[in-house]
Structure 1
């Protein structure tokens, strides 16, 4: 299996926008994907990905989920004037159409299916579809919540049909409930759907009773629909991680999916005006990393929401870093979930316990009256965009600076590095000559005359120092005298009072 990561993006998906005044829909702007892609370029991440060509989804693919009648409505918007578009949009909830909506929706869905094909064929291991319009609210016969076609739902049905998959996991970390996906698969035991979402006891959009924890599926699909409602704002990294560890992951590992699809909505991140939550961008690195251990690593992340451009673009970038296999940054903040989050987690586990072996002996009780019931759900005063930008600028510098390079190779000056992997950091020896002399003080000083040996010892000490200073996770250093280098290294780490460590030495005859 290849270890590469795919990226789906086409600038043409920015070619539609809201054409009239509508406060509810005005946040869904073309810059959501263009700014995110630019951020991937700034970090050098886009060029490390396999760029997949985007194609239009066919009508047959669209109708895997959507009705022919709805398809005809969307097609007809291509020739409508602004007033006709507005009237057609008003037939649905929080929806808007544009003459290019149909074309972009076909590209959005087609790009998602391209990603599924690339992952399932083994061309890549995982990937991200940076697309719009989003999809998880869309239902078989209606647009909803900016969504035209349900990209992830169609992708799941497409993967089941084309690759004969029996088990697909859909993880929806958007801050809104993806009711479209729930409705489509609620009686289907081949799809395990997990969604956390801002709920506030039904007072937050889409204001559905069926978004609560006790809606667990229907018929044969009972137990395969997992809702984790957030009943207050301000959920942080610890709450999200706790939800994964205590609800999603136990069920996901037991389910053992053959493919993981992520409805990756980043309006659940810090600074987003819709979610008003406090998960910082590196949280999505950890969520992604946890999901990469499910479904044999076959993971397709598909963009849904995200409405603060800086927060969105940083979170997208952190997700792609992890898909590429870069080291995880340290999570910021205290790792103690809030009481309201624990209540929601406990209730979700309780209602699913009868259907899963991993919860068979779970003795958690149902919390009939959550601590937030009846309390005001009024949103807190939101930070202005410049304050959010300033925080994220400083935060990203801090966490990116703290990430150790996965592998560092210590080479002599002007060495040929063309054959090294792209994620290997190359550095020259930096240990001072006095440090080298001190390290070999117990050995013959005659050895210090040999320049080749001095260079080898310098590289060895540089490697050890970079690991102990958390500048890299592991290190490679070439040595012309492995025996002496080993002795020097052992003496050096003894002086550093290290408690544990593994050192591997490889001898090549004649080196």
Structure 2
């Protein structure tokens, strides 16, 4: 038996951390308010998320813990502020770039450190699977010897160092999706190969704070840490959901899977979300659900999310809720917005890939080179702000914009949030009874009776209805599918003696039911090619050899792939091609079928199921012709989501496979724009 899997999501919060506040007037610092914490916590309560989490108490971080990354001088200065009067506090604060001290700041900053470490302990000891710490002051700008940018102690960096020492970890991934560069974290770990640090940040060719040369894409780490520092600079404002997803598909996720972390820490700033006066980006709260979902597939699900920035209270609190909802395992809302990264984002993605090519196996055969002439360089940022949401000229308009965003988000969240189906995963009690052997709670559905099926199928596949065995399996299959289509269950598994037949019927039935965009991924040999003429179905067929007479078209794509004998090399196909196509398509139902002669191993198939759950509100229907027990277990595990399935040993793609993906990418990137990750291929300047 495998060890019992940790379950549950921790929430660490202490109201005490709202007592750190600005005592004098300072237009730079006045956005870092206590309400950032209290309104986020209130919104979590509003969605009934607090009661679903495991409450983990905060504690003060010890001096010893703080000294893991900070100097004793820095600690002493911070300590000395507890008894200062306002004048003295103001004077000491003035020694730092964008920081303020309050008599309670030292206490709050120690609580922020301790809360973060409590979360790491809860996750590392298996008390919970993952969790979030709502803390302030934030941490990612603070350096060994200095407070900086609202940050006193570097909570996440201390957590990384602490986890390495206490749990003997050798690989930690830190993902910093705050809109500012976490230069503090970069400096602390830039020579350390055991910590992979990824940050995207508003940069505008060094115009935007902290305006450092070393925040650019070519700062890849130093000495032994070379290749383990990834900076993705955003050279214009207004980046949105598709830009963030493209960064994950084409940069972060392939690196993360190759790195294979034992723990993932997120410096979770939400100033990269819509309406933020600092970031001026356009990403909406649900994008954070998708990013969180992807990171949950790493490190066996060990994920600690720690609050950093975020200054539009509504945008911040909704984004916090989307993150926690996803950590709890709720289905992920459909992403909104046009799924096409902007030219400037593609340029940055290309440059960071080029800069890291020498260090990463997955990039070894990518023909990628640095772009010198960037589309944003020729016309420097005008003082007039291109972002529709903020106008720095006056606080008044700023306030108007802030209210506009608030109203927009009220409506937006109502539109994208949906009732979670009462049942996660369904299957039918078939003759083999294999459902009872599955390691996870799966709901059993009664099959449909024969007359019902005949009536359903006779319209389009009349000849199939003659065979009793097939009829029976269609009855099972349709019973589960109907529950998914009616949103009574989230996802389901059906066994079928002929997967291609079941899939053909399932696709037709779903379209007739009213689903307009169905994604079907078929692994193995497909004897019947379903009719996809009406553009309501996108078929991706993964098989070992080209099937004769089949040419790829926009809605029917063939991927010839034979999994490597050494381990799982399917990461590159999934992240570099399948996911970008699927996200470009935005299906409202996903059907994944495993037919005969599958060319993917169990780990590749598990990965497929795990990563595609971000689509179609997590509605996935699995049709299994191959019912090998370990495969069924892995698929059920991925669908129930109680734990991360095993993705096997990471194997980098061969040159031949990289070329294969590139050819497909070139062929389809005009249609499915999330495939775009470089500019030189004559991509339209969208």
Q: Which residue of 2 aligns with 1:75?
A: 79
Q: Which residue of 1 aligns with 2:570?
A: none
Q: Which residue of 1 aligns with 2:89?
A: 85
Q: Which residue of 1 aligns with 2:414?
A: 397
Change (3 A) 1:96 1:465: same
Q: TM-score, normalised by structure 1?
A: 0.84
Q: Which residue of 2 aligns with 1:330?
A: 334
Q: Distance in 2 between matches of 1:387 and 1:437?
A: 55
For structure 1, which segment, 199-208 or 361-370, has the greater mean C-alpha deviation from structure 2 after superposition? 361-370
Aligned with 1:249 (options 248, 253, 272): 253
Q: How does 1:493-504 map to 2 (within 5 A)?
A: 496=509
Q: Distance in 2 between matches of 1:90 and 1:129?
A: 29
Q: Distance in 2 between matches of 1:109 and 1:75?
A: 14
Deviation, 1:496, is 4.1
Q: Distance in 2 between matches of 1:365 and 1:68?
A: 44
The number of equivalent residue pairs is 459
Q: Which residue of 2 aligns with 1:155?
A: 159
Q: Distance in 2 between matches of 1:9 and 1:2?
A: 21
Q: How does 1:122-271 map to 2 (within 5 A)?
A: 122-271=126-275
Change (3 A) 1:112 1:440: closer
Asked if structure 2 preserves the Cα contact closer than 8 Å seen for 1:329 and 1:403, the reply is no
Deviation, 1:257, is 0.8
Q: Distance in 2 between matches of 1:59 and 1:324?
A: 33
Deviation, 1:474, is 3.7
Aligned with 1:22 (options 9, 17, 26): 26
Q: Which residue of 2 aligns with 1:382?
A: 389
Asked if structure 1 preserves the Cα contact closer than 8 Å seen for 2:7 and 2:127, the reply is no
Q: Distance in 2 between matches of 1:361 and 1:373?
A: 29
Asked if structure 1 preserves the Cα contact closer than 8 Å seen for 2:182 and 2:199, the reply is yes
Q: Which residue of 1 aligns with 2:324?
A: 320
Q: Which residue of 1 aligns with 2:368?
A: 364
Q: Distance in 1 between matches of 2:146 and 2:210?
A: 14
Which string of whole-angstrom CA distances, capped at 9 and with x for unpartnered residues, describes residues 424-451 of structure 1?
9x9xx9xxxxx99995999xxxxxxxxx
Q: Which residue of 1 aligns with 2:293?
A: 289
Asked if structure 1 preserves the Cα contact closer than 8 Å seen for 2:68 and 2:158, the reply is yes
Q: TM-score, normalised by structure 2?
A: 0.63
Asked if structure 1 preserves the Cα contact closer than 8 Å seen for 2:12 and 2:58, the reply is yes
Q: Distance in 1 between matches of 2:13 and 2:410?
A: 25
Asked if structure 1 preserves the Cα contact closer than 8 Å seen for 2:266 and 2:306, the reply is yes
Q: Distance in 2 between matches of 1:343 and 1:469?
A: 42
Q: Distance in 2 between matches of 1:268 and 1:219?
A: 31
Asked if structure 1 preserves the Cα contact closer than 8 Å seen for 2:70 and 2:153, the reply is yes
Deviation, 1:88, is 0.2
Deviation, 1:475, is 7.1
Q: Distance in 2 between matches of 1:343 and 1:261?
A: 27
SS of the residue 1:354 aligns to: coil
Matched, 1:344 2:361: no
Which string of whole-angstrom CA distances, capped at 9 and with x for unpartnered residues, describes residues 367-403 of structure 1?
0121101423243353512111111011101110276
Deviation, 1:16, is 1.7
Deviation, 1:95, is 0.3
Q: Which residue of 2 aligns with 1:481?
A: none
Q: Distance in 2 between matches of 1:160 and 1:83?
A: 40
Q: Distance in 1 between matches of 2:80 and 2:256?
A: 41
Q: Which residue of 1 aligns with 2:537?
A: none
Structure 1 unaligned blocks of 5 or more: 410-423, 430-434, 443-459, 477-491, 505-511
Asked if structure 2 preserves the Cα contact closer than 8 Å seen for 1:329 and 1:399, the reply is yes
Q: Which residue of 2 aligns with 1:509?
A: none
Aligned with 1:120 (options 112, 119, 124): 124
Matched, 1:66 2:83: no
Deviation, 1:503, is 8.4
Which string of whole-angstrom CA distances, capped at 9 and with x for unpartnered residues, describes residues 40-76 of structure 1?
1110111111110110000000111111111111011
Deviation, 1:296, is 1.6
Asked if structure 1 preserves the Cα contact closer than 8 Å seen for 2:120 and 2:159, the reply is yes
Asked if structure 2 preserves the Cα contact closer than 8 Å seen for 1:327 and 1:405, the reply is no
Q: Distance in 1 between matches of 2:506 and 2:345?
A: 44
Q: Distance in 2 between matches of 1:92 and 1:495?
A: 64
Deviation, 1:464, is 5.5
Matched, 1:469 2:486: yes
Change (3 A) 1:440 1:69: closer
Q: Distance in 1 between matches of 2:508 and 2:176?
A: 50
Q: Distance in 1 between matches of 2:507 and 2:180?
A: 54
What RMSD, in angstroms, separates the aligned Cα atoms of the two structures? 3.1
Q: Which residue of 1 aligns with 2:39?
A: 35
Asked if structure 2 preserves the Cα contact closer than 8 Å seen for 1:32 and 1:309, the reply is yes
Matched, 1:6 2:10: yes
Q: Which residue of 2 aligns with 1:507?
A: none
Aligned with 1:106 (options 90, 110, 119): 110
Q: Distance in 2 between matches of 1:440 and 1:252?
A: 46
Q: Distance in 2 between matches of 1:48 and 1:153?
A: 28
Q: Distance in 2 between matches of 1:129 and 1:465?
A: 39
Deviation, 1:473, is 1.8
Deviation, 1:466, is 4.1
Q: Distance in 2 between matches of 1:23 and 1:61?
A: 33
